[in-house]
Chains A and B, each alone.
Chain A
């Protein structure tokens, strides 16, 4: 089963914050976040590994709660360039050590 992402879509004004959630029914050892702009390939943003760490990448950060099998992506003071579709990809030993299972995506639109 695919991880569940929420919300499905969000519209922001420049400078506002957003949170995107990713929830799995499987025990996870990693969560990967990607952003895809229209007509382009998904681009890797960051990886979170088992251990409940939080990571940051400029004004984009993420957390991983392995007990709840959830990850959240935080976008702070959003910029126009943040627009795109965000996917979480989960790594689970239940599925395969080599595969990621992707959520259906969250479409983020940042307006001026």
Chain B
């Protein structure tokens, strides 16, 4: 079974803090993704990566950056957290097979005060 883990289930941060969310997958997947999930908006792609040190912007990259130094690990960074970044953050990974089924981690619920 594919396992995708995220470093924290819940986080509370202050406005202006730098926030790191980490994601690790154990199935040697090339692709990794960061989404945020908000009520009524579904899953919106922030960034994705298809290889080590490679990244591409998704639909809502503003205010976020990412890092992928190792194949199994993909980090999402909020450079200066703001209250509108309060959300559920989901990480996913997939093989590049042309079918692109994604496997999700349990999510991190971030509250920015």
Contact = CB atoms under 8 A, between A and B. Distances in A.
Contacts of B102: 32, 44, 89, 100
A105 B96 CA distance: 25
Interface of A: 2, 5, 8, 30, 32, 34, 40-44, 47, 49, 87, 89, 91, 96-105
Interface string B31-54: 101010000111111001010000
Contact of B100 (A41, A100, A105): A100
Interface in B92-111: 94, 96, 98-107
6 contacts: A2-B42, A41-B107, A42-B90, A44-B101, A98-B96, A102-B42
B8 to A, nearest CB: 14
Given A41-B105, A99-B58, 15 more contacts: A2-B44, A30-B99, A30-B100, A41-B104, A41-B106, A43-B104, A44-B102, A47-B99, A91-B100, A98-B31, A98-B48, A98-B100, A100-B102, A102-B43, A102-B44
